[in-house]
Chain A
Amino acid sequence: MTERYVIAIDQGTTSTRCIVFDRRGQLVSLAQQEHKQYFPRPGWVEHDAAEIWRNVERLAPQALSRAGITTDQVAAVGIANQRETTVLWDRRTGAPVGRAVVWQDTRTDTLVSTLLAAPGAEQVQHRSGLPLATYFSGPRLTWILDHTPGLRERAERGEVLFGTMETWLIWNLTGGLHVTDVTNASRTMLLDVRTLRWSAEACDFFGVPMAMLPEVRPSVGVFGTATAAFPGVRIGAALGDQQAALFGQTCFTPGEAKCTYGTGSFLLLNTGTELVRSTHGLLSTVAYQIAGEPAQYALEGSIAITGSLVQWFRDQLELITSAPEIETLARTVSDNGGCYIVPAFSGLYAPHWRSEARGVIVGLTSYITKGHLARAVLEATAWQTREVVDAMNADSGLALTTLKVDGGMTADNLLMQFIADVLDVPVVRPLASETVSLGAAYAAGLAVGHWPGLGDLRRNWHRAAQWMPAMDPGGRDREYDNWRRAVERTFDWIKPA
């Protein structure tokens, strides 16, 4: 019997990757290609959707040949994608209309403050489970329709289509299927997060013609068969990248949570089939939906700046030459020396959602060295995690007992220990570091019966490392109090014009 494989397309913010996984969930081969980042104005971030699709076409044969396999050995392909990035294209020609507007883009800030004051804003936020913010695709779509002459009319006639990245890729993979999955749809502000259907009220509020919206499908279930890149292979799944990481960490039971530490960090807690409305600054989002089953929901704590604070320390302050050296520098001192850094570079996300906040370094004295600053940089990631975990515990009424982690920053041993210390729970890293891709592969394989059930996936999960809390409670409380006072000092920095 020939071994069969599952392929994940991980369409990320800076690069696209195709990864081949074997039946045990082990990485067999990887092909990766970065794409160009366009910064036409301060605060604007764009991608060329056509370039991204070309990259997928180029990476597909590379990943296959590196694994030494052909498409007939591939059981399914799954997609995990950067969320909230907005793509428009012409239904007839398939050509993108303008560049894709990326999730980090803040061009909608004035629009968002106008919309916040508009009638129905409360209702739209409640229905979508999301706070009105520049982060989500709905306001972005409004902005594009407002700023491109004639576009709204063409969209109303169904000539121009909207999608997030997975919609764009599936359209191209299948030669014209216009679909999205519930996780990606739940990040637009246009979806009724309960009924999992597009909300007519929300579309009206944002001025978005419903004719341009893709059909909403479950995340796990066959979307169609590819005719390009992987011809003949079924597309078994599509999920937003953070939801894919939750799936890859096999957090299938309510109460299970993971945090992915990358440029930003995203903590998702499975809340089961129940939609939990946050009263503590978290997002209510869809975790995944298996075809024929009710959707599973998640509470999400999104932290904008974690790994990118280390990058800032490296590239802007030039105190280290590579990101991992932050740990070496931090270990030259035994504590933060009373110094705290709150990286509110573009305001604060969860649980504060303060767009007028800006970063601070507090507690500076002549005693402070670059070693203390390095510690403060790492501690900022841990304390931001603590704030999000506290909000989750308060919202869900459950106390987190273990934190599963993944992402590049898990290589930082000092940071992982400090997170265990400030959360006072064990922090566990799984044996597969590529959890985003793995989650997409798992979901796709599950859809086509390559893996019989969630239990089989769970058995592939193994603990690679564990950090146990070892901080005295008094010290932890004192430090947390200092951190909170530092956070307060970031508020109200940007004054309304």
Chain B
Amino acid sequence: MPGTVQSIERAAAILRMLAGGTGRLGLGEIARSLDLAKGTTHGILRTLQGVGFVEQDRVSGRYQLGAALLHLGTSYLDINELRSRSINWADPLAARSGEAVRIGTVLEGRVLVVHHVFRPDDTFQTLDIGTLLPLHATALGKVLLAYRSAGPVGELERFTRRTVVSPRELAAALDEVRAAGWAAEIEELTPGQAAIAAPIRGYGGLVVGAIGVSGLVERICDTRYRPHPRLVGYVRDAARAVSRDLGAARH
């Protein structure tokens, strides 16, 4: 049996301390109580903050438990449940948009396709449920990254000359996604292909997945190379309908 991981044990101890304490705790207090070096303690706290388990008060600089930890037990959504609950909304989205629909969640740093509706033109198409796609080069993935359903990506692989490969550019793109409430991908994974996606929210508004349409760039985008507002509207409506069914609060 492999040995235990010391830093995880220490992180657990910190979380227990924060959970048991009466309010916020400072870095020094935590380090002293656990008999750890301040540098080590700070590293662990920063990591816990990154995944949302710990929050730092802006004014005092003291630490407390994060909101993500409170949602830990309730935000989990079975992927087959997600498909089952969204199937009635994914079908009309395909019918209205005339494009293929996919729903994705995060699996090990990639987008896992959990549902796929064919483009309704009766041409031969293959179901790609279970396929893994890159987060940074797909509309579904950008939505999942923007709402922190996925952790930060490592190296940004280039697929086309339009793929966003600089971390700074990606961060800016994700800011735009959050501001707009939807994401686009235009020839960033495959030349000639484009996609639009919007977040699916579960209990408490937590983003549990993304739904979107994809197809030929000349059908998805207008003459200015921007996604058709009509399609964006359909995708966002479908995302909201699924979220409502999943019990998300109004956003």
Contacts and interface: CB of A to CB of B under 8 A. Distances in A.
B81 A324 contact: yes
A73 interface: no
B60 to A, nearest CB: 41
Nearest to B123: A463
B83 A411 contact: yes
A323 B84 contact: yes
Secondary structure at chain A's binding surface: helix, strand, loop or mixed?
mixed
Contacts of B91: 431-433, 464
B79 interface: yes
Contact of B80 (A27, A325, A466, A467): A325
B118 A322 contact: no
A433 B87 contact: yes
A378 to B, nearest CB: 11
Contact of B118 (A324, A433, A464): A464
A411 B87 contact: yes
A413 B92 contact: no
Nearest to B117: A464
B118 A465 contact: yes
Contacts of B95: 24, 26, 431-432, 462
A482 interface: no
A26 B89 CA distance: 12
B118 A26 contact: no
A328 interface: yes
A466 B122 contact: no
Nearest to B83: A411
A192 interface: no
Interface string A448-489: 000000000000001111110000000000000000000000
Interface in B176-200: none
B127 A462 contact: no
Secondary structure at chain B's binding surface: helix, strand, loop or mixed?
helix
B78 A322 contact: yes
A27 B238 CA distance: 14
A27 B94 CA distance: 13
A10 interface: no
A24 B91 CA distance: 14
B246 to A, nearest CB: 12
A325 B85 CA distance: 12
A441 to B, nearest CB: 15
B81 A322 contact: yes
A108 to B, nearest CB: 36
B159 to A, nearest CB: 26
B224 to A, nearest CB: 29
Interface string A406-423: 001011110000000000
Given A431-B94, A432-B91, A413 B129 contact: yes
A466 B127 contact: yes
B169 interface: no
A463 B119 CA distance: 8
A464 B116 CA distance: 8
A27 B117 CA distance: 17
A465 B84 contact: no
Contacts of B118: 462-466
Given A411-B87, A433-B87, A465-B117, A324 B127 contact: no
A411 B78 CA distance: 13
Interface in B35-73: none
Nearest to B96: A26
Interface in B83-136: 83-85, 87-88, 91-92, 94-96, 116-118, 120-122, 125-127, 129
A413 B80 CA distance: 8
A462 B92 CA distance: 12
Interface in A323-339: 323-328
Interface string A235-276: 000000000000000000000000000000000000000000
Contacts of A410: 87
B117 A431 contact: yes
25 contacts: A24-B95, A27-B92, A322-B81, A323-B84, A324-B80, A324-B83, A324-B84, A325-B80, A325-B81, A326-B80, A411-B87, A412-B84, A413-B127, A431-B91, A431-B94, A431-B95, A431-B117, A431-B120, A432-B95, A462-B95, A464-B91, A465-B116, A465-B118, A466-B127, A467-B127
Given A411-B80, A431-B117, 8 more contacts: A26-B96, A324-B78, A324-B80, A326-B80, A433-B88, A463-B122, A464-B94, A465-B116
Interface of A: 24, 26-27, 322-328, 408, 410-413, 431-433, 462-467
Please list the 7 inter-chain residue pairs (A to B) with the smallest Cβ-Cβ separation, ordered nearest first: A462-B120, A324-B84, A324-B80, A411-B84, A327-B80, A324-B81, A464-B117
Interface of B: 78-81, 83-85, 87-88, 91-92, 94-96, 116-118, 120-122, 125-127, 129
